[in-house]
């Protein structure tokens, strides 16, 4: 198959060229897929897209006109794909439902531990010859109550890591996991979880129902001094409300690997630019906030799995086989 590959980074080329056996002719483009760049798909059978590509109705209509028959998402999420438009255009959509849940769960843990023990501040101090321990005090993880919103594969693995710390785990999910319940995880209502948690970590998908799940009303139910972690999707949190929660100290710690307006910022080097996003600039100014730019998935193992599954999805379509990872309405 001839595949137009968008939002390409060096690590994408490395992993996909490593696993492509020659069955696919992949054309790598650094640009984002949108209505302006859709013309690059002329003559291609499929597109390979990522989290910030714009697969809205107009883009999909253009893809159909150019002969594209398959959208291969190289990620688990597909909230940026208009599935109704894809169905109307007779374009199949496939994804990578689980590439490395461990990678994202471990990154969430890294955010927690960095915020807690302030290792980022200690690192910078020591490099400047400052060996003081003032204002670096953290807390014991042991015995803390961790609220996990969403207990799919990533949420499950994260819960097990937290259990290893000796934390009490409470969870919210429409479909409770029996394995986690057997391990001692207690499922509660969302309101009860918000009220009871010292640390809250988000691991649910972004849908119409979960958009701005964490908003002013949710923050008002949290304990003073709560830590909030998001390694799922930026739209789960109303970021302006999060800023207010930081200002009134409802949030004592805030760690995010995703951001609601990340498409204009993440995956780019903007070190020589003026950041025009006032909200993220405000967040960066807080000493108790850590932001990473959607790197939770970025491990060698995860990249290999993403390439393997995506190429397998393409091959299955080419061979007219059942699409195990198809996204359907």
Q: What is the mean pLDDT of the chain?
A: 96
pLDDT in tens, 147-163: 999 999 999 999 999 99
Q: Give long-range contacts, CB 8 A cutoff, 24+ apart: 174-182.
A: 176/151, 177/151, 180/151, 180/156
Number of helices followed by number of strands (H, E) in the chain: 12, 12
pLDDT in tens, 281-290: 999 999 999 9
Look at residue 323 in the predicted model and tell me its pLDDT: 96
- 82 SS3 class: coil
pLDDT in tens, 222-269: 999 999 999 999 999 999 999 999 999 999 999 999 999 998 899 999
- 126 SS3 class: helix
Q: 38-62: buried (b, 16+ CB within 10 Å) or exposed (e) per residue?
A: bebbeebbbbbbbbbbbbeeebbbb
234 and 271 in one domain? Answer: yes
144 and 247 in one domain? Answer: yes
pLDDT category of residue 3 using cuts at 50, 70 and 90: very high
235 and 272 in one domain? Answer: yes
Percentage of the chain surpassing pLDDT 90?
Answer: 95
The answer as to whether 228 is a domain residue is: yes
Catalytic annotation, residues: 233, 262, 294
For residue 29, give the CATH number of its domain. Answer: 3.40.50.720
Contact 329, 78 (CB under 8 A): no
105 and 90 in one domain? Answer: no
The answer as to whether 147 is a domain residue is: yes
252 and 121 in one domain? Answer: yes
Residue 211: count of CB within 10 angstroms of its CB: 15
287 and 192 in one domain? Answer: yes
Q: How many domains does the chain have?
A: 2
The answer as to whether 328 is a domain residue is: no
Does 77 have pLDDT greater than 90? Answer: no
Cα 215 from Cα 171, distance rounded (Å): 18
183 and 92 in one domain? Answer: no
202 and 107 in one domain? Answer: yes
57 and 30 in one domain? Answer: yes
Tell me what the mean pLDDT of segment 20-38 comes to.
95
pLDDT category of residue 29 using cuts at 50, 70 and 90: very high
- Token pair in block for residue 124: 């910078």
172 and 207 in one domain? Answer: yes
* Range(s) of the domain holding residue 7: 2-98+300-318
Residue 146 makes CB contacts below 8 A (sequence gap 6+) with: 159, 162, 167, 168, 169, 170, 197, 198, 199, 200, 201
The answer as to whether 329 is a domain residue is: no
The answer as to whether 213 is a domain residue is: yes
Tell me what the mean pLDDT of segment 106-120 comes to.
98
The answer as to whether 286 is a domain residue is: yes
143 and 201 in one domain? Answer: yes
Predicted TM-score (pTM) of this structure: 0.91
243 and 112 in one domain? Answer: yes
Tell me what the mean pLDDT of segment 179-202 comes to.
98
Rounded to the nearest angstrom, the gap between the alpha carbon of residue 209 and the centroid of all alpha carbons in its chain is: 17
């Amino acid at each position: 198959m001839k595949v137009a590959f968008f939002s390409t980074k060096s690590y994408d080329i490395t992993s996909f060229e490593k696993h492509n056996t020659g069955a696919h002719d992949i054309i790598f483009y650094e640009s984002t897929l949108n209505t302006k760049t859709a013309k690059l798909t002329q003559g291609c059978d499929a597109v390979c897209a990522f989290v910030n590509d714009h697969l809205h109705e107009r883009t999909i209509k253009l893809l159909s006109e150019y002969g594209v028959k398959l959208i291969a998402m190289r990620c688990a999420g597909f909230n940026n794909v208009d599935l109704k438009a894809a169905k109307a255009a007779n374009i199949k959509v496939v994804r990578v439902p689980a590439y490395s849940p461990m990678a994202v769960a471990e990154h969430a843990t890294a955010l927690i531990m960095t915020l807690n023990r302030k290792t980022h501040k200690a690192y910078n101090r020591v490099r400047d010859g400052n060996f003081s321990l003032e204002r670096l005090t953290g807390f014991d993880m042991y015995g803390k109550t961790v609220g996990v919103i969403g207990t799919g594969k990533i949420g499950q693995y994260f819960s097990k890591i937290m259990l290893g710390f000796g934390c009490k785990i409470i969870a919210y999910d429409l479909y409770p996991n029996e394995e986690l319940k057997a391990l001692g995880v207690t499922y509660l209502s969302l309101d009860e979880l918000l009220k009871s948690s010292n640390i809250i970590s988000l691991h649910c998908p972004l849908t119409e129902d979960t958009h701005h799940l964490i908003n002013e009303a949710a923050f008002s139910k949290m304990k003073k001094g709560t830590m909030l972690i998001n390694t799922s999707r930026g739209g789960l949190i109303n970021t302006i409300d999060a800023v207010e929660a930081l200002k009134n100290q409802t949030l004592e710690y805030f760690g995010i690997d995703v951001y609601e307006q990340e498409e204009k910022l993440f995956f780019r080097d903007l070190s020589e630019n003026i950041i025009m996003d006032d909200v993220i600039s405000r967040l960066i100014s807080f000493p108790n906030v850590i932001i990473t730019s959607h790197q939770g998935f970025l491990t060698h193992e995860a990249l290999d799995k993403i390439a393997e599954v995506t190429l397998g999805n393409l091959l299955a379509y080419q061979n007219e086989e059942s699409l195990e990872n198809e996204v359907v309405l």
